[in-house]
């Protein structure tokens, strides 16, 4: 390792200079000559059959260039990349004459201007034969419920079990806490809405897309459109937030690509803010029956959940994957004799659900941690002490959690004890009721499934590759297929390369997410994996390039490679700064093939792959202090504390920022955010993410237990902040209002919901 010390430092983000100056490379700012503009026609009904789609008037409208109807897109389908055991469908149509949610695309209009496209879209004559709506998993599972897919015979797309059959253990326990929980449907809320600009020259389709996974988007678009992969290029550029909602190609985006191919000119489309709640996939919606069994001494015996997850109108790109992860992470950091879950993916006449930051883990924490607090209440025990009594210890690790996961390293009790010492709730006398709540979690990161999970079809893993080149002038270029989605990946990759190669960080440039110029990334920037997996690949590539540099320099300096170091742009003999060689001179010689040792080839470029053998696991503990107004039901979070262990921190400033942003999203899930539908399947327009007023100062403390799996010791940190807040805040509300503690089971805890519980 070089002595520049970038890794582990609070290096300012290198991408911020570009972004703050307005030089971000966003899809919405793309301007290509001859661009046409698209407008999407969406279904106004939640369930029905499209019996008429007359585009005659729209085609005749001034400026209109094309109209694509279901007949024009027949056979065009997108895949479900994530499949659960027994899942009944593995793809879905881009346009369908059967409508199963309000907002489903039914046609695309393309015109010379955005205004002409929108005006003409209103001229498409649509008629529907209405069918009954089915909102909510309970209604969809009820006897006699209308069926979205009559050929299935039920509204269940997948039904499988994970882990142990816990019935005998639960039946023999001294105490069983049995509660039913719901987690509200929430929506990603990126600053940049989804958008695409597609251009086709007869040979290559170029797609500029706001995406977290450029290579996956290329594959899905190419396969759907019948093009070979080499004829499709996806340019990801900057992404103004994704949170899971931009990890795949959407039907409306694919229709824009089809329009570009039909017209032979660029076509641009951007999702309107008003369409986001019906067009961008939401997540979370689920109902859990959770049961926690304990012995008379308060030892956890078994944990089981019956998880009914709302898939919406059809399984999306990820299918029931988030619900499966809920099951896999249900045990959290605790020791159980048995743990398991039944998982059902249920279809309803609502927008399909997909990925969102945390991917099933906040739901697991909500159910588990509320059960633990309720058990403590019934036992008359301190909730923190009950947790400490049952937490896995460092001596227990590595160990399996009984639901497909093998935790690698950590000190879970230390995190909770550290948190308890940090918590300092405000003391005020204003008539409101106050409480403090805790939650603990293990975060699944570094997406790389074990061989057993792959064989069982539970989840596929994903490698990452990195290409690293030192130019003849000694500057460095890093290429990765990952996407920059606000997580600071350009900065941390530059830190790794600068440290390993001994160059100033301003001599490193990072390129991301262009399928024509970056190495293959099968699943992209999702699941807290970019730094852990992509950074591990880069670490390997940098070590390979470093070894070659030292070999070349040793030849020139007549020294052993082990006696050399890379410092400040030079290669020098340790302890003798006068015996040195500028990296620029060494790089120039390498590229021109001058004075190379025998067996060495010209050039300074390395590519490395990291394919994780398994996940790595971050973990943490969080606490919230709340004040509840019993007259209105309003909940205010007055203080929030986080202790987190993400292994080796490449940049503590970025990690802390990620955690604070995640906590803010978690507060929204806990208190204000929910996509609500009327009984006839119409989404209610109000959606309330938290503002600065609802988010208090967030205290973050870090522990460091290096990953035993990842080269470099990193674990993921992107989702940690999001996992704990609903459970911590729910437990705090239950502590403040013990008279309703056993009924604090649903999110979000809006004033109306809390007020109703109190009465």
pLDDT digits (tens, 9 = 90+) for 538-580: 999 999 999 999 999 999 999 999 999 998 899 999 988 889 9
Q: What is the CA radius of gyration of the chain?
A: 27
Q: Is the pLDDT of residue 523 over 60?
A: yes
HEC string for 180-246: EEEECCECCCCCCCCEEEEEECCCCEEEEECCCCHHHHHHHHHHHHCCCHHHEEEECCECCCCCCCC
Q: Distance between CA 305 and CA 336 in Å, rounded?
A: 14
pLDDT digits (tens, 9 = 90+) for 706-726: 998 899 999 999 999 999 999
Mean pLDDT of 593-600: 94
Instruction: Count CB atoms within 10 A of the CB of residue 241.
Output: 17
> Hey, which residues does 141 pair with through a beta bridge?
none
Q: Is the pLDDT of residue 459 over 80?
A: no
When pLDDT is cut at 50, 70 and 90, the band that residue 1 belongs to is very low
Q: Is the pLDDT of residue 695 over 80?
A: yes
Q: Is the Cα dihedral 373, 376, 382, 387 positive or negative? A: negative
CATH topology for 32-131+190-242+246-279? Aldehyde Oxidoreductase; domain 3 (3.90.1170)
When pLDDT is cut at 50, 70 and 90, the band that residue 461 belongs to is low
Q: Is the Cα dihedral 479, 482, 485, 487 positive or negative? A: negative
Q: Distance between CA 611 and CA 420 in Å, rounded?
A: 37
Q: Distance between CA 1 and CA 24 in Å, rounded?
A: 33
Q: What does the DSSP 8-state code read for residue 487?
A: S
In the block, tokens 């040195």 appear at 580
pLDDT digits (tens, 9 = 90+) for 3-13: 468 999 999 99
Q: Distance between CA 727 and CA 288 in Å, rounded?
A: 14
Q: Provide the edge-to-edge strand list for the sheet that holds 570-573.
A: 564-567, 570-573, 576-582
For residue 225, cis peptide bond before it (omega within 30 degrees of 0): no
Task: Say what the pLDDT of residue 297 is.
Answer: 96
Query: What is the crossing angle of helices 652-671 and 725-736, to 10°?
Result: 50
Task: Say what the pLDDT of residue 578 is.
Answer: 86
Q: Is the pLDDT of residue 36 over 70?
A: yes
Q: 491 φ, ψ to 5°?
A: -65, -50
The pairing of strands 300-312 and 105-111 is unpaired
Helical (H) or strand (E) element with 365: helix 361-379
* 340 close to 304: Cβ distance less than 8 angstroms: yes
Q: Is the pLDDT of residue 457 over 60?
A: no
Displacement of CA 491 from its chain's centroid (Å): 20
Query: What is the crossing angle of helices 361-379 and 321-328, to 10°?
Result: 40
Mean pLDDT of 747-751: 98
Q: What does the DSSP 8-state code read for residue 275?
A: G
Task: Say what the pLDDT of residue 82 is.
Answer: 86
Burial status of residue 146 (CB atoms within 10 A of its CB: 0-12, 13-18, 19 or more):
middle
pLDDT digits (tens, 9 = 90+) for 387-446: 999 999 999 999 999 998 999 999 999 999 999 999 999 999 999 999 999 999 999 998
Q: Distance between CA 189 and CA 273 in Å, rounded?
A: 10
Where helices occur in 451-511 by DSSP H, the ranges are 451-456, 489-501
The token pair that represents 404 in the structure block = 């497909």
Q: Distance between CA 312 and CA 354 in Å, rounded?
A: 9
Task: Say what the pLDDT of residue 568 is.
Answer: 86
Q: How far, CA to CA in Å, does 129 sit from each of 47, 99, 146, 215, 312?
A: 9, 10, 15, 39, 20
16-24+462-610 and 32-131+190-242+246-279 in the same fold: no
When pLDDT is cut at 50, 70 and 90, the band that residue 369 belongs to is very high
Q: How far, CA to CA in Å, does 239 sit from each of 235, 486, 533, 716, 739?
A: 11, 7, 20, 20, 46
pTM: predicted TM-score of the whole model, two decimal places: 0.96
Query: What is the crossing angle of helices 361-379 and 383-390, to 10°?
Result: 110
384: three-class secondary structure by DSSP: helix
* 345 close to 87: Cβ distance less than 8 angstroms: yes
pLDDT digits (tens, 9 = 90+) for 602-635: 999 999 999 998 899 999 999 999 999 999 999 9
The token pair that represents 161 in the structure block = 């079990």
Task: Say what the pLDDT of residue 452 is.
Answer: 52
Residues sharing a CB contact under 8 Å with residue 51, sequence separation 6 or more, in sequence order:
127, 128, 129
Q: How far, CA to CA in Å, does 596 sit from each of 524, 555, 604?
A: 38, 8, 12
Q: Is the Cα dihedral 247, 342, 284, 50 positive or negative? A: positive
Q: Is the pLDDT of residue 745 over 70?
A: yes
Q: What does the DSSP 8-state code read for residue 360?
A: T
Mean pLDDT of 245-262: 97
Q: Domain 16-24+462-610: give its CATH code.
A: 3.30.365.10
321: three-class secondary structure by DSSP: helix
Closest CA to 626 of 343, 385, 435: 435
286-451+613-758: CATH class = alpha beta
Q: 579 φ, ψ to 5°?
A: -90, 85
Q: Distance between CA 310 and CA 100 in Å, rounded?
A: 14
Q: Is the pLDDT of residue 2 over 80?
A: no
Q: How far, CA to CA in Å, does 481 sit from each of 48, 464, 538, 544?
A: 41, 8, 12, 19
Mean pLDDT of 446-474: 75
Domain ranges for the chain = 16-24+462-610, 32-131+190-242+246-279, 286-451+613-758
Q: What percentage of residues in the chain have a pLDDT greater than 90?
A: 94
172 backbone φψ class: left, alpha, beta (φ>0; ψ -120 to 50): alpha
Task: Say what the pLDDT of residue 460 is.
Answer: 53
Q: How far, CA to CA in Å, does 665 sit from each of 606, 641, 692?
A: 39, 15, 12
680: three-class secondary structure by DSSP: coil
DSSP for 30-99, written as a single string: ---TT-EEEEEEE-SSSSEEEEEEE-HHHHHSTTEEEEE-TTTTTT-EEE-SS--TT-S-SEEESS-SEE
Q: Is the pLDDT of residue 215 over 80?
A: yes
Q: Distance between CA 54 and CA 232 in Å, rounded?
A: 32
Mean pLDDT of 183-194: 95
Q: What does the DSSP 8-state code read for residue 479?
A: E
pLDDT digits (tens, 9 = 90+) for 487-504: 999 999 999 999 999 999
Helical (H) or strand (E) element with 662: helix 652-671
The size of the chain, in residues, is 759
b or e along 711-724 (b: 16 or more beta carbons within 10 Å of the residue's beta carbon)?
A: bbbbbbbbbbbbbb
b or e along 40-66 (b: 16 or more beta carbons within 10 Å of the residue's beta carbon)?
A: bbbbebbbbebeebebeebeebeebbb
Considering the chain, what is the average pLDDT of its residues?
95
Report how many helices (DSSP H) and strands (DSSP E) the chain contains, helices first: 20, 30
């Amino acid at each position: 390792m070089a002595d520049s010390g970038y890794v582990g430092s609070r290096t300012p983000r290198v991408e911020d200079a570009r972004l703050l100056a307005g030089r971000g490379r966003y899809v919405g700012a793309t301007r290509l000559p001859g661009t046409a503009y698209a407008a999407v026609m969406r279904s106004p009904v939640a369930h029905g059959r499209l019996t008429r789609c007359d585009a005659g008037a729209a085609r005749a409208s001034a400026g209109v260039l094309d109209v694509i109807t279901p007949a024009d897109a027949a056979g065009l389908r997108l895949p479900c990349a994530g499949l659960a055991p027994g899942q009944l469908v593995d793809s879905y149509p881009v346009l369908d004459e059967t409508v199963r949610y309000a907002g489903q695309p039914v046609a695309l209009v393309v015109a010379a201007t955005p205004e002409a496209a929108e005006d003409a879209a209103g001229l498409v004559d649509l008629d529907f034969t209405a069918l009954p709506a089915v909102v909510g998993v309970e209604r969809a599972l009820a006897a006699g419920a209308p069926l979205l897919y009559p050929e299935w015979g039920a509204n269940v797309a997948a039904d499988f079990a994970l882990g142990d059959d816990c019935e005998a253990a639960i039946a023999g326990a001294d105490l069983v806490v049995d509660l039913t929980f719901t987690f509200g449907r929430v929506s990603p809320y990126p600053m940049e809405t989804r958008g695409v600009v597609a251009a086709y020259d007869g040979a290559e389709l170029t797609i500029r897309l706001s995406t977290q996974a450029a290579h996956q988007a290329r594959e899905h678009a190419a396969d759907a459109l019948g093009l070979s992969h080499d004829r499709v290029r996806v340019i990801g550029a900057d992404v103004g937030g994704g949170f899971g909602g931009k990890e795949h190609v959407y039907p409306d985006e694919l229709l824009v690509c089809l329009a570009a191919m039909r017209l032979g000119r660029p076509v641009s489309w951007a999702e309107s803010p008003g369409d986001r709640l019906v067009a961008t996939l939401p997540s979370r919606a689920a109902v859990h029956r959770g049961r926690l069994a304990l012995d008379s001494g308060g030892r956890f015996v078994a944990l089981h959940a019956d998880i009914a997850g709302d898939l919406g109108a059809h399984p999306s790109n990820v299918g029931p994957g988030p619900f499966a992860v809920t099951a896999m992470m249900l045990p959290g950091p605790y020791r159980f004799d048995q743990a398991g879950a039944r998982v059902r993916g249920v279809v309803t006449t609502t927008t399909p659900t997909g990925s969102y930051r945390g991917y099933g883990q906040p739901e697991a924490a909500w159910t588990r941690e509320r059960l633990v607090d309720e058990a403590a209440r019934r036992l008359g025990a301190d909730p923190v002490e009950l947790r400490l009594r049952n937490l896995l210890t460092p001596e227990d690790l590595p160990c399996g959690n009984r639901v497909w996961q093998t935790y690698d390293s950590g000190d879970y009790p230390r995190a909770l004890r550290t948190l308890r010492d940090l918590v300092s709730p405000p003391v005020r006398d204003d008539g409101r009721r106050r409480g403090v709540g805790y939650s603990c979690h293990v975060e699944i990161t570094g997406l790389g499934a074990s061989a057993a999970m792959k064989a069982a079809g539970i989840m596929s893993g994903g490698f990452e590759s990195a290409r690293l080149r030192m130019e003849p002038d000694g500057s460095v270029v890093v290429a990765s297929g990952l996407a920059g989605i606000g997580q600071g990946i350009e900065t941390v990759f530059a830190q790794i390369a600068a440290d390993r190669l001994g160059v100033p960080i301003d001599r490193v440039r990072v390129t991301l997410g262009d399928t024509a110029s970056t190495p293959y990334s099968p699943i992209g920037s999702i699941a807290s994996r970019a730094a852990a997996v992509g950074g591990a690949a880069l670490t390997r590539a940098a070590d390979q390039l470093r070894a070659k540099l030292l070999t070349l320099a040793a030849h020139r300096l007549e020294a052993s490679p082990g006696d050399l170091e890379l410092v400040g742009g030079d290669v020098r003999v340790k302890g003798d700064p006068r015996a040195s060689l500028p990296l620029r001179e060494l790089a120039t010689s390498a590229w021109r093939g001058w004075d190379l040792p025998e067996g060495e080839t010209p050039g300074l470029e390395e590519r490395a792959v990291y394919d994780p053998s398994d996940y790595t696991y971050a973990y943490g503990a969080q606490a919230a202090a709340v004040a509840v107004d019993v007259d209105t039901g309003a909940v205010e979070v007055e203080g929030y504390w986080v202790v987190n262990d993400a292994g080796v921190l490449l940049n503590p400033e970025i990690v802390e920022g990620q955690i604070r942003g995640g906590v803010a999203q978690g507060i929204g899930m806990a208190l204000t955010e929910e996509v609500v539908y009327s009984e006839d399947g119409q989404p209610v327009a109000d959606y309330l993410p938290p503002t600065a007023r609802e988010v208090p100062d967030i205290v973050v403390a870090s522990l460091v237990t290096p990953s035993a799996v990842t080269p470099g010791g990193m674990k993921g940190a992107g989702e940690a902040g999001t996992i704990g807040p609903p459970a911590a805040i729910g437990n705090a509300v239950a502590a403040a209002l013990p008279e309703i503690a056993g009924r604090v089971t649903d999110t979000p805890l809006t004033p109306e919901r809390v007020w109703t519980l109190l009465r």
